[in-house]
Amino acid sequence: MIDFELPEPVKRQVEFITMMGQQVMRPVARYYDEHESERPWDYINMMWPTIMAQGGRSFSVEDDGGKKNGKPRIGHLMLIHVVEALSWGDAGLYLSTPGGALGGAAVDATGTPEQKERFLKRFREGEPKWAAMAMTESHAGSDTAAIRTSARLTEDGKHWVINGEKIFVTGGLMAAKESPGFVVVWATIDPAAGRGGMKPFVVEAGTPGMTVAKVEHKHGIRASDTASLVFQDCRIPFDNVLGSPEITKHDGSAESRKGFRGAMKTFDATRPAVAASALGIARASLEFVVSYLKEHDVQIRHGVPTNQQTAIERELLEMEAQHRAAWLLVLKAAVKMDARQENTLEASMAKVKAGAVANFVTQKAVELLGPEGYSCKLLLEKWMRDARINDIYEGTGQINRLIVARRILGYSSKELR
């Protein structure tokens, strides 16, 4: 039997985040959207004690002790609910929240137990800090196997030297500048090995050779910084390579596929969270439209036959149905992750559906309210802009559709491109 009742710890966290969204995030959302270069320090300092109390788990899921005490693991279930609620408050501010974020997720997915303890324990103490993940390059967006950023081992075997450039790094400015944060950089140690030569490296904030080359001016999620990072003879300790430093040959063998799947576990963990963020924005838009229509004496009737519904009712009910369908996919992806089951298919399905639904719902919300929805008087137009990123980062909708098709039909990446 499937139980959809939320565990009490998740309920309490969602209630707290919802309160933060209403009282702290929404009132300043427009300001930070219009003042992109400013950091929301009041919000950051207010959230940091909560992040520390959670051990950074709200944004980088560590083992929550499940099964050891006879209870199911709920780390990823907690994650998607917290991210959804934060994005309901404001997606840009959510992405500027201190914590492990995507960098922490990469450590959790690919690091050794010692590395997880070493790099993630910092999110339980001290001043606010951030972690980011750097994958995308100007010539290698969705084709991760084409990355050129390199990492070579020094002759004495004690350090790695990284050279290259990464673009569109979410939270890259704060992670690269605010010590003791870090950036997880994906680089190749052997270009000839293809995907098997890719490895993630932890580069600590302030490391010589890592510089912030540019901070983007963006369409949405403006409270969060998105940076380009340059690595020029950036030297890091040998044990900052996450997981095994061994090269896996890229020859189509099971060994090669296993090596790449191990590296891509990061996306299996983060794509459901990105999907949850998309649906938090969609829910905010849906709830606002329903409330707005109610204030103007427009009622939405449920259970009425389609041929008796008004045009507005049909639009709203379709928006609600699509939103609920997407959320069920996100739940499945997260629950499988907590159960330590492979969820690559479910994670990509959730990401595809949620990205499409967020765009559909937010655009419809603006459309239904006409000039009011399109104006900056309301947050609807901002939510529409914020939602657009969810179908782009962490794998575009097109790429995730390919992943879903390959998994269902049994094709390899060479057979279905």
Give the start-to-end residue ranges of the domains of the chain: 8-124, 131-248, 264-409
* pLDDT tens digit sequence for 226-254: 999 999 999 999 999 998 777 655 454 44
Cβ–Cβ < 8 Å for 64, 340: no
- Whole-angstrom CA distances from 185 to 260, 281, 386 are 16, 29, 26
Please report the pLDDT score of residue 325 as a whole number: 98
Crossing angle (nearest 10°) for helices 344-368 and 397-409: 140
Please report the pLDDT score of residue 57 as a whole number: 53
- HEC string for 310-335: CHHHHHHHHHHHHHHHHHHHHHHHHH
Please report where in the chains the tokens 């520390």 appear, as a residue.
52
Q: Which stretches of the chain drop beneath a pLDDT of 50? A: 1, 58-60, 250, 252-259
Cβ–Cβ < 8 Å for 74, 115: no
- Whole-angstrom CA distances from 281 to 44, 124, 236, 396 are 20, 28, 38, 18
Please report the pLDDT score of residue 72 as a whole number: 84
Please report the pLDDT score of residue 24 as a whole number: 96
Please report the pLDDT score of residue 4 as a whole number: 78
* Residues classed as catalytic: 394
Q: What is the CATH number of domain 131-248?
A: 2.40.110.10
User: What fold, for 264-409?
Assistant: Butyryl-CoA Dehydrogenase, subunit A; domain 3 (1.20.140)
Q: What is the CATH number of domain 8-124?
A: 1.10.540.10
Please enumerate in sequence order all residues whose Cβ is within 8 A of that of 296, keeping only pairs 6 or more positions apart, or say none. none
Preceding omega of 180 cis (within 30 degrees of 0): yes
